[in-house]
A and B are shown apart, each in its own frame.
Chain A
């Protein structure tokens, strides 16, 4: 079974609230993180299978820390309180700020006394003048909202691309150039990512998200060239995936300046014979990166206009590419450039429109908030004309 390891990353999910944490390197070391308003020692999950855990207070007191214990018996607040009365409509409910008798300090004190989440919510409900005359739907909505804050159960999940793409995007979209999860899904299709292929990625600001997604998809089969210009390649998401050495095997980092030198040398050395002795036979070594050698290419950056045309030279004829930018303007320039030079066919500038829905009996509708843009993709297939 899949157990939580020391030093590994985990996703902590409490209702819809998601956070990413790395566990301590050393066994037995306490590791306190904040989950919502609560301080939780997550080292208590090490050695246990991923799944649902209950927040358990170590000892009473205001600043006490919770530990986590495996627990599958989740009790939702709305189930606990389903026997309460409810009203027909909100005719008698006035927003005069007096319906909740408990003050902020009272609630803080209750927390300090070591009450559990559901006990606090019970107090809130009991001290509300209006709760019992709210409609059933309204009560459920209220309890769900409170549960987001006070739920005593959290899920400890193994990070995967679906979680990480959503987490990084919802935390701050521009830290990954507003590359929305559904746009990432499109990139994976349009660049024809598959096992046993050779792919190039230029990551100009999505924290290694695309590279991690490819490495995850191919599970050790194939080659992924992580192309970069300056410094070190982006790797935050790659690290958070807890990849095994086997899964990381396809990853080759390659500075474009070094590649330029190598390719120039090769051109000069054309015709010179290499003594047979000097050719090392290494079965495991990745095939060298040269012009026309890649099956697919993903470029992610703010302004791909100059670099895209160069990087496409590395693609094999009929190779697929997907170029992502949070802006449509540079991609429209690239589009015209590619079309005028007959570099590619099936050129498409697209974006995806994505929204989620609330589906509940008699209350189904699109969610009130949605993302307005998830970035743009220029995709196509390289041809030789």
Chain B
């Protein structure tokens, strides 16, 4: 229940993040019992790389402090949409923080915004949207897959987002959103987003708004842009955003890499006349050797305020 409002101490029902190291983080819901694969209810014990954790015993523990496992320890962290994105169970491909951040800002989302999202997928973007629009806005999110809707509805309720979100099963391309003149923004992550553009126009407020579509392929983006232009959208912009992560390392080169050579016989000096320090030690800011090179193209556009005569 703890995403929306920050608290200091864990209560039963909260979702928490157990942080062991950057590669080992887990999202857990604090409850005494958990269902096995067979459906039997057993004591909620979570196995980490450093031994077992009795999850119910987290109740009353402080966020940001250490928690003990049977053979080691980790940190107990307050959940955030970013940590959720890294730790949620994938039902679909998900959006990650760099794209999510850009979407939230470029759609002008703020407390009080009303936004339509389709499809919901695994709810990665939904959590960041909810953080931005609560406690006065609303998210209408649609997915054509019934099971996904059920799972994400449960998660929204577990995380305390229930008052700010409506999740429904619906094929947006075929059936539209059944919403009229309510939305400040629409987000489409669909295989054929151009089919949902006329429905989006209907959902957007007559006073104007923003739209965003996410597509991995440029051919989809091309069709979307044509669709947006034909429908009367303005300021159509397509962009992509990737994250470059750096490792920070204090490096001491082994002697074998020490090419301390000079054509002069006297020790090398720098321009101020000081003798050079140990060349084998330095601080390196090293880009990751592997990185995501493509996620998708984000297309944004503005739906202009509709003047009286256009409303007929």
Contact = CB atoms under 8 A, between A and B. Distances in A.
Contact of A194 (B131, B247, B304): B131
Given A356-B238, A359-B238, A332 B101 contact: no
A359 to B, nearest CB: 4
Interface string A358-385: 1111001000000000001000011111
Contacts of B218: 357, 359, 364
Interface string B47-61: 000000000000000
B239 interface: yes
A162 B244 contact: no
B285 interface: yes
B119 to A, nearest CB: 21
Contact of B285 (A52, A189, A332): A332
B69 interface: no
B241 A182 contact: yes
A349 interface: yes
Contact of B64 (A52, A332, A383): A383
A195 B111 contact: yes
A195 B134 contact: yes
B248 interface: yes
Interface string A296-332: 0000000000000000000011111000000011001
B105 A219 contact: no
A98 B14 CA distance: 75
Given A317-B65, A336-B248, A336-B283, 13 more contacts: A182-B241, A185-B105, A186-B243, A189-B97, A195-B111, A196-B135, A329-B285, A333-B283, A346-B77, A354-B239, A354-B241, A356-B238, A361-B226
B276 to A, nearest CB: 20
Contact of B66 (A188, A196, A221, A385): A385
Interface stretch (B4-12, B32-40, B262-270): B4-12
B6 A197 contact: yes
Given A349-B248, A350-B245, A295 B6 contact: yes
B33 to A, nearest CB: 26
B63 A182 contact: no
- B interface, by DSSP: helix, strand, loop or mixed? mixed
Interface string B88-109: 0000000001101110111011
Given A50-B305, A192-B82, A348 B245 contact: yes
B132 A194 contact: yes
Interface residues of B, number: 66
Nearest to A157: B302
Interface string B227-258: 00000000011111111111110100000000
Interface residues of A, number: 65
Contact of A186 (B65, B97, B131, B222): B97
Contact of B111 (A182, A189, A219, A384): A219
Nearest to B299: A359
Contacts of B248: 332, 335-336, 349
B19 A345 contact: yes
Contacts of B138: none
B144 interface: no
A114 interface: no
Contact of A189 (B128, B244, B297): B128
Nearest to B105: A185
B80 A317 contact: no
A52 B76 CA distance: 52
A267 to B, nearest CB: 21
Interface in A199-238: 216-221
Interface in B124-153: 128, 131-132, 134-136
A141 interface: no
A356 to B, nearest CB: 5
Nearest to B16: A318
A49 interface: yes
Contact of B101 (A1, A189, A351, A382): A189
B199 interface: no
Given A1-B207, A189-B97, A217-B110, A184 B105 contact: yes
B268 to A, nearest CB: 24
